[in-house]
Amino acid sequence: LISISSLLLGTTITISSNHWMMAWTGLEINTLAILPLISKPHHPRAIEAATKYFLVQAAASTLLLFSSTTNALFTGQWDVTQLIHPTSCLLLTTAISIKLGLVPFHFWFPEVLQGSSLMTSLLLATAMKFPPIALLLMTSPSLNHTLLTTMAIASAALGGWTGLNQTQVRKILAFSSISHLGWMTIIIIYNPKLTLITFYLYCMMTAATLLT
């Protein structure tokens, strides 16, 4: 109950925040809330998945905080939508890409999904992607477009190709998720609403597959 309510709280804080510190707090609450759910089956693989997830997400959150602090240092404000310093834009694009699992920061995602139970995998592949995508939507005009487009094309291609080579359902779904994220992030610069529709459709498809 505490974990699920913390997940909802973390997501709500991130998607409704206008201050970088609040957005970061929401992401951290989310990360800490999902860890007990990943490691709940006391199995070495589940513990390994939880450790990998924690390390990757902590690194991404630190990078996000560093990006917003750099922006605040040069511009004097903490507004999420006012990210204008070029270094901050580059760092934020990288941080959100790590959080989402875009290529080339995708290696953790299939491993973590494979080590989790089916319901936790569903949460990781859908609900846990929502706060970073919300941040992407809010900051889309100020992101590093060249880097984002390169990573998006690589994700769409690599997600599809690597998924062909898998025999385990969760890994196939993980690579499917990476591929879908590629399509979502490539269109976000031009039409953010279309990205949101794609994300909802992706959530419905993933939920249908994993629940079956």
- 105-135 pLDDT tens trace: 999 999 999 999 999 999 999 999 999 999 9
β-bridge partners, 19: 79
How many domains would you assign to the chain?
1
Place of tokens 């589940």: 46
pLDDT at 69: 96
**Which range marks the domain in which residue 203 is found?**
1-211
pLDDT at 202: 96
Q: What is the pTM of this model?
A: 0.93
Position 189 pLDDT exceeds 90:
no
pLDDT at 142: 87
- Mean pLDDT, residues 189-210 taken together: 94
The string of pLDDT tens digits covering residues 87-110 is: 999 999 999 999 999 999 999 999
Measured CA to CA, the distance from residue 78 to residue 26 in angstroms comes to 15
The string of pLDDT tens digits covering residues 30-82 is: 999 999 999 988 899 999 999 999 999 999 999 999 999 999 999 999 999 99
Give the Cβ contact number of residue 165 at 10 Å. Answer: 9
pLDDT at 165: 86
- Mean pLDDT, residues 135-157 taken together: 92
- CA max distance for the chain: 51
Q: What is the mean pLDDT of the chain?
A: 94
Nearest Cα residue to 39 out of 25, 29, 54: 54
